[in-house]
Amino acid sequence: MDKEAGAQDEIYLKRLERHHDELRWLYMELYENDSMFAELMDNMKHFFTERNADLKNQDAERESHQDWYKQNDMLGMMFYIDNFAKNMKGVESKLDYIERCNVNYIHLMPFLETTEGRSDGGYAVADFRKVQEKLGSMEDLDSLTASCHKKGINVCMDFVMNHTSEDHEWAKRARAGEGEYMSRYFFFQDDSIPSQYERTVPQVFPTTAPGNFTYLPDAGHYVMTSFYPYQWDLNYRNPRVFNEMMYNFLYLANRGIDIIRIDAVPYIWKELNTQCRNLPQVHTIVRMMRIISEIVCPGVLLLGEVVMEPEKVVPYFGTIEKPECHMLYNVTTMATTWHTVATRDVRLLKRQLDIVNSLPKDYVFLNYLRCHDDIGWGLDYGTLMTEGIGERSHKQYLNDYFQGYAGDSNSRGELYNADPVTGDARFCGTTASMCGIEKAGFEQNGEAMERAIRLDVMLHAYMFMQSGIPVIYSGDEIGQVNDYTYKEDPQKVADSRYIHRGAMNWKLAENIKDPKTVEAKMFSSLDRLEHIRKSEKVFVSNADTWTIETWDQSILCIGRYFEGEKIIGLFNFSEFDKTAWINETDGDYTDLISGKVMKPVGINVPAYGFYYLKHISE
């Protein structure tokens, strides 16, 4: 054995020693299977040995700086590879643009093998070790991640572990009646057990994919399908499923992925007579994933997709001693932000931020204004009810507002999964269209356009002020509007989410050089904010963050403090000039946007305007 291999073995053994006993205990608690645990151990060592030298060096660097992702320079961008640049080689050719956007973290939307027409946007995976042909190959992925790392850009991908496509090899063999593969899913000969599950398990898509089971006439069995009929839920009671999925996880980590987004985390474990959500075994599985990654590839972060309010999301961080996910999405705050736009009332948002700000600073949230998905109105209706706002009527108002029908709205967009019985629906649209840029452009109204851009920029400024890591959706940096061409595509027409998943318009992106254009105004404004965020240390994730009462329902005020430096952000969610009746009496502040010196006392904030006020130290 050469010297380098010996040194690497020593590193591995040290990590294993630190975690082995807990991992074994958790595994045996779940599976009571020595031989499967021994197999897992062997394969972990194999994947560590296969990991290339550059990734191992990065692991070592990140192990010695464990807060590397909590700094104020982290900025994410998410996109579909084909929409952004046709394929992986195309993305590699656009890295200079990504760098110019000050982005150092790209989330590549699902790119693994899937079946056209039965893909759920790539979330029905047919092969975890193959890239969709139209997007490239595993070699292209290796090349892309290596190029990203040279530029200091982290790469995030989705790991869809709750289910596979019905076209996955396991599913095909299960369908053919092979018992070993049937046991990797939930197969039932008749509907007696499925009907018991249906009594307690909520439906994910009650209108487009009702029920949690699908009957397979050719196989003569029911199979559990929580999402769509072509997505078969995996049975994590079977240790073979856990082991094989962990090998897929490590295989992808070894392709140079830095952040692995675990899709639909709360659903992973199923139990009869429960809701099959957030069960204790889910936390055991996520904790084991965290341990496995800390042994084999500690430079990799786990991002959990848990779509719930902060109090219910928090358990997925684990504890300080036994962490689970490194990062989680700040879903409720995102939905509450748009509620605030529609009502011009910041009270619920202030309450939401107070909850997030009260959590331990080790917890890192991803903040965003929109993502690839629809916006569901999962707000704190208990609080809204105390103000006389009912859930059904308010959801109706929000959907009417963002379609442009109510409340002096300038927004444009479409409903998703509208349920005529309950009146429930979710909403789809790009940030720019929701802010009025589409309407103002269509009407060629210059004044309305300036106002819409101001709202869009203010929302980004507010998002950057939140605690955590901001992520923008590709195209938002140039104010890209809704794309209605999805209606001409038979594969997409039934899914209105494609309205905000339009192809990146590179012709419009060229306009960032022309200061008179919408694209340049958006791009330069965000560029300025991003540079402020990276240069001011109070924007680190673990700074003290709090809200300040403004005594005006339309103005939100956020304070940040870190190592003797303090910044106050003021954000006007109204189309009228307003006064923030704050009274910070600790001296003069500089507005980081205009350079103007002022005292933060009774400040006039222009319509859809904002301030970043930095305390001038004595």
pLDDT in tens, 471-489: 999 999 999 999 999 999 9
324 annotated active-site: no
Residue 312: what pLDDT? 78
143-158 burial code (b ≥16 CB/10 A, e <16) = bbbbbbbeeebbbbbb
Q: Is the pLDDT of residue 45 over 80?
A: yes
pLDDT digits (tens, 9 = 90+) for 474-528: 999 999 999 999 999 998 898 899 999 999 999 999 999 999 999 999 999 999 9
The answer to whether residue 257 is domain-embedded is no
Identity of the residue numbered 204:
V
- 188, 204, 233 - which closes a domain: 233
pLDDT digits (tens, 9 = 90+) for 87-106: 999 999 999 999 999 999 99
- 233, 255, 279 - which closes a domain: 233
188: CATH = 3.90.400.10
E strand or H helix at 472, and its extent? strand 469-473
Residue 309: what pLDDT? 74
Over residues 558-563, mean pLDDT: 97
Over residues 336-360, mean pLDDT: 96
Q: Is the pLDDT of residue 404 over 80?
A: yes
Give me the number of domains the chain comprises: 2
Of the residues 305, 424, 477, 530, which is catalytic?
Answer: 305
Residue 538: φ, ψ to 5°? -65, -10
> Nearest 5 degrees, angle CA 369-CA 331-CA 500?
40
Over residues 247-264, mean pLDDT: 97
From residue 249, alpha-carbon distances to 236, 269, 296 in Å are 15, 18, 11
Q: Is the pLDDT of residue 23 over 70?
A: yes
Over residues 186-192, mean pLDDT: 96
Over residues 433-439, mean pLDDT: 98
Q: Is the pLDDT of residue 618 over 80?
A: no
pTM for this predicted structure: 0.95
Q: Is the pLDDT of residue 69 over 60?
A: yes
Q: Is the pLDDT of residue 422 over 80?
A: no
User: 356: pLDDT confidence band, cut at 50, 70 and 90?
Assistant: very high
Neighbours of 478 (CB within 10 A): 24
Of the residues 82, 158, 233, 263, which is catalytic?
Answer: 263
User: 5: pLDDT confidence band, cut at 50, 70 and 90?
Assistant: confident
Residue 587: what pLDDT? 93
The answer to whether residue 45 is domain-embedded is no
For 546-580, give the DSSP string: EE---SSTTEEEEEEEETTEEEEEEEE-SSS-EEE
The answer to whether residue 204 is domain-embedded is yes
Range of the domain at 228: 169-233
The answer to whether residue 178 is domain-embedded is yes
Residue 117: what pLDDT? 87
Residue 593: what pLDDT? 96
Residue 293: φ, ψ to 5°? -70, -35
Over residues 153-178, mean pLDDT: 98
592: CATH = 2.60.40.1180
Over residues 6-22, mean pLDDT: 94
Residue 249: what pLDDT? 98
Over residues 449-477, mean pLDDT: 97
Residues across the chain = 618
Q: Is the pLDDT of residue 577 over 90?
A: yes
139 annotated active-site: no
The answer to whether residue 110 is domain-embedded is no
- 233, 257, 276 - which closes a domain: 233
Over residues 446-453, mean pLDDT: 97
**Two tokens, residue 151:** 């530029």
Contact 113, 132 (CB under 8 A): yes
Over residues 327-345, mean pLDDT: 95
For 164-199, give the DSSP string: EETTSHHHHHHHTT-HHHHTTS-EESSSHHHHHHHH
Q: Is the pLDDT of residue 1 over 60?
A: no
% residues pLDDT > 70 (the chain): 100
The answer to whether residue 177 is domain-embedded is yes
Contact 429, 413 (CB under 8 A): yes
Task: Tell me the sheet residues that pair with 604.
Answer: 579
**Half-sphere CA count of 610, side-chain side, radius 13 A:** 28
Contact 119, 82 (CB under 8 A): no
User: 2: pLDDT confidence band, cut at 50, 70 and 90?
Assistant: confident
Widest pairwise Cα distance in the chain? 78
User: 420: pLDDT confidence band, cut at 50, 70 and 90?
Assistant: confident
58-75 burial code (b ≥16 CB/10 A, e <16) = bbeebeeeeeebbbbebb
Residue 236: what pLDDT? 98
The answer to whether residue 394 is domain-embedded is no
The answer to whether residue 593 is domain-embedded is yes
User: 206: pLDDT confidence band, cut at 50, 70 and 90?
Assistant: confident
Q: Average pLDDT over the chain, rounded to whole?
A: 95
Q: Is the pLDDT of residue 434 over 90?
A: yes
% residues pLDDT > 90 (the chain): 91
Q: Is the pLDDT of residue 324 over 60?
A: yes
Contact 521, 515 (CB under 8 A): yes
